[in-house]
Amino acid sequence: KNSENGTVSSFSTTFVFAIVAVKKTVTGSGISFNISPPRSATNMESSSNNPALSIDFHTAKTDKPLGKDLDIVGIDLDNSVSEKYDSAGYYKDDG
């Protein structure tokens, strides 16, 4: 919904999900949540006039020595490359 005075609307969300491979030898790419103005979701090139945010959940991991951890959560700002990312996992909060 567009705000009446042009300010950015605030929101918060919490969710839990699992991506489970049918075969352990086959991995998928993952899932991505995107927030952008209309008609810019496929054009993630950097632009101050076309801001976009994407949260990526990658689901692949390599066992090769010095292999890159691809089981990550990444944040993409105005481009399609995760500049900030960390290993994905479940962390129980014992309060």
CB atoms within 10 A of CB 56: 19
Average pLDDT, the chain: 70
| pLDDT tens, residue by residue, 29-69 | 778 888 877 764 455 454 556 678 888 887 766 555 555 66
pTM above 0.75, yes or no: no
Q: What is the pLDDT, as a whole number, of residue 40?
A: 45
How far is C-alpha 88 from the chain's CA centre?
11
Residue from 52, 57, 60, 69 nearest 31 by CA:
57
Which residue's entry shows tokens 């994905």? 88
Sketch the domain layout of the chain as residue ranges: 30-87
% the chain with pLDDT above 70: 59
Residue 15 has pLDDT above 60, yes or no: yes
Q: Which residues pair with 58 in a beta bridge?
A: 30
